[in-house]
Structure 1
Amino acid sequence: MEAIIAAVNEKYNLTNKEVFEGDPRVADWPFMNNLASFLTIIILYLLVVKHGPAFMENRPAFSLTPLLVVYNFALVILSAYIVIEMLSCAIIQGYSLLCQPVNYEPTEIGIREASVSWWYFMSKIIELLDTVFFILRKKGNQITFLHVYHHSTMAIICWYVAKYVPGGEKFYNGGFNSLIHVFMYTYYGLAAMGPEMQKYLWWKRYLTEFQLIQFVLVNLRSIGTFFNGPCEYPMWMNVVALFYSSSLLILFLNFYLKSYKASGQNGVKGCRSHESITTIKGQVISSNGQQPSTNKAFIKKE
């Protein structure tokens, strides 16, 4: 029996102290030292999603154009920093696609890994404002099931990664996702400036394709770890990543195919420059760079 337990632990790294007690280097960082404060954010977010549209129903919509431009490009800068820092840490440490343990050492590079993991988590907290802005602008059709599921669960997963396994193999996922967000928020920032920016948004159709490719590559990466030898990175985290990424792939592909089918029924074949696109946030961007308006909240049921 002891041999079996030892073999399972070696494969899945179940008794890694940091995985269950948290990384002591981040213990005093915001949201890392108090689970209640983080859960409060998530609960408030879900309450706003549920009750916000009703609150705004008989109130005029806010424009928020200057704020949206600043907000989106601020996230472009933050996402670009995360990509560059994760890539730098990966190069310095000789990142391996086969097995990359978390560096828990209190060294400069170890702290940098933990820090950029925390910033990646914080970017997901900031991105919860996407939904708030939709509600304030009375864009209820943007608050789809996919949108809410993605935003809330990403924040939860990234909190766990930042607190317990900051770095290691999940740099691949975080870096890839942040790279996509550089392009995504650049698009949103330009679109927020108005229809006159349409001539610069010819590349919008590639966003959805890029996102789908991301999920496929992340899944392949996670599957590949199952065929490696023992690794100090907890294998069960790769299992969670595989199931979570697969859920997003299924939901987003379903949403994407429905949008494509709707376009076909309107006599439009393929994704051309005058069509709408659907992004991983569940947002629909029309040809003039603006989100379609609606006065009612619509939570998409999958």
Structure 2
Amino acid sequence: MAQILTNVIEGYHDLMDNKSDPRVNDWFLMSSPFPTMCICLTYAYTVKVIGPRLMENRKPFDLKYTLILYNLFQVIFSTYLFYESAAAGWASHYSLKCQPVDYSLNPLALRMARGCWWYYFSKFTEFLDTIFFVLRKKNDHISTLHVIHHGIMPMSVWFGVKFTPGGHSTFFGFLNTFVHIIMYSYYLIAALGPQYQKYLWWKKYLTTIQMVQFVLVMVHAFQLLFIDCNYPKAFVWWIGLHAVMFYFLFSKFYKQTYVKKDKRVKVEDQKDDEKTKKSNFMLCFTTQTALYEKTDDVKEMSKGYTSDGNRLRNRVFIDNPRA
């Protein structure tokens, strides 16, 4: 047992010290995965347990201006990251088919590596999305999808920065930062107030864009299983399976939020139409108002109906003929 533990520890140090990218080993939070793991676990426990308990007997915070500034910051930060990934590779010499990692000290290679590192930190700033939900007591917004999505991403990106800060896998960050520009622009408009709600009709399509993003990442990653490319297959599976997982989580959210909602609306509309038809059938008196009001044309009746042979007739048409 002791030998097995020794082998595990030695294998871990060999992986971290000898098989990772030496350029990033001394960068902040890059020496070990455990600080990142602790931060992610603390985040999940805080937003699901501690936060709601602390806010249970408190009034929700009014964070209007905080949300405006936060979403504006995220739009600017995402734009910067998108620009860096484009300028360092995806808008110039990077190939969509096969792009090995450049581990050299080439300025563009280092620029891409630094961009990956800053992208890693952007996953921590996104924790504030959930913390703001807690402070505003929007606990119904803190779904499993939301917590998994935000809680896993820093850990996932850490491995990318540690071992492959550049090359094929950065396509995910390139697409993701573009989507986040759109997403946080939506949240920014929403934070401005109810008078801007009319400009937010495209929320449904925002989720669609996110799902398309994951499909593109899947195709882009898994193509290397059929192509000879000098890129670690482990990261092909790592990125590809993350995209698959997030696609199905977002797909489930889309169906619950939009598809089922549309069906409920249609059923309710059909019920309303049926009620209207029934109501119109039951109230088809040609002179309904006259039945309840005294006018020159309609006099008070001692009885409502009278017999006319084998049928009943309303006396308003018998005793009160029009002049």
TM bracket (short chain): 0.7 to 0.9
The alpha-carbon deviation at position 222 of structure 1 amounts to: 1.8
Farther off after superposition, 235-244 or 110-119:
235-244
The alpha-carbon deviation at position 138 of structure 1 amounts to: 0.3
The structure having more radius of gyration, on CA atoms, is: 2
2:214 aligned with 1:215, yes or no? yes
Instruction: Decide whether the 8 Å contact of 1:69 with 1:193 is kept in 2.
Output: yes
Match runs of 1:224-243 below 5 Å: 224-229=223-228, 231-243=229-241
**Structure 2 gaps, min length 5:** 1-13, 269-323
2:61 aligned with 1:58, yes or no? no
Query: 24, 28, 37: which is aligned to 1:26?
Result: 24
Aligned equivalents of 2:17, 2:177: Cα separation in 1: 24
SS of structure 1 residue aligned to 2:52 = helix
SS of structure 1 residue aligned to 2:168 = helix
Alpha-carbon displacement from aligned partner over 1:3-59 (angstroms, at most 9, x marks no partner): xxxxxxxxxxxxx97896422222222211343432331122022022211111111
Residue type matched to 2:182 in 1? F
Residue type matched to 1:144 in 2? S
Residue type matched to 2:251 in 1? L
SS of structure 2 residue aligned to 1:169 = coil
Match of 2:189 in 1: 190
List, as ranges, runs of 4+ consecutive aligned residues in structure 1 with deviation greater than 4 Å. Answer: 16-20
Aligned equivalents of 1:23, 1:268: Cα separation in 2: 57
Aligned equivalents of 1:140, 1:17: Cα separation in 2: 40
- CA distance 1:19–1:223, change in 2 (3 Å): farther
- CA distance 1:23–1:93, change in 2 (3 Å): farther
Match of 1:8 in 2: none
Aligned equivalents of 1:250, 1:95: Cα separation in 2: 29
Match runs of 1:216-295 below 5 Å: 216-229=215-228, 231-259=229-257, 260-267=259-266
Residue type matched to 2:45 in 1? L
Instruction: Decide whether the 8 Å contact of 2:16 with 2:32 is kept in 1.
Output: no
Match of 2:171 in 1: 172
Match of 2:290 in 1: none
Aligned equivalents of 2:147, 2:90: Cα separation in 1: 34
Instruction: Decide whether the 8 Å contact of 1:53 with 1:135 is kept in 2.
Output: yes
Match of 1:81 in 2: 80
Structure with the greater relative contact order (CA < 8 A, sep ≥ 6): 1 or 2?
Answer: 1
Match of 1:43 in 2: 41
Aligned equivalents of 2:147, 2:246: Cα separation in 1: 12
Q: Calculate the aligned-residue CA RMSD, in Å.
A: 2.1
Aligned equivalents of 1:17, 1:56: Cα separation in 2: 43
- CA distance 1:92–1:186, change in 2 (3 Å): closer
Using structure 1 for the length normalisation, give the TM-score: 0.79
SS of structure 2 residue aligned to 1:266 = helix
Aligned equivalents of 1:164, 1:223: Cα separation in 2: 19
Instruction: Decide whether the 8 Å contact of 1:19 with 1:165 is kept in 2.
Output: no
SS of structure 1 residue aligned to 2:266 = coil
Instruction: Decide whether the 8 Å contact of 2:218 with 2:243 is kept in 1.
Output: yes
Residue type matched to 1:26 in 2? V
The alpha-carbon deviation at position 175 of structure 1 amounts to: 0.6
Aligned equivalents of 1:92, 1:191: Cα separation in 2: 31
2:95 aligned with 1:96, yes or no? yes
Aligned equivalents of 1:204, 1:92: Cα separation in 2: 28
Match of 1:286 in 2: none
Identity of aligned residues (%): 40
- CA distance 1:51–1:165, change in 2 (3 Å): same
Match runs of 1:136-147 below 5 Å: 136-147=135-146
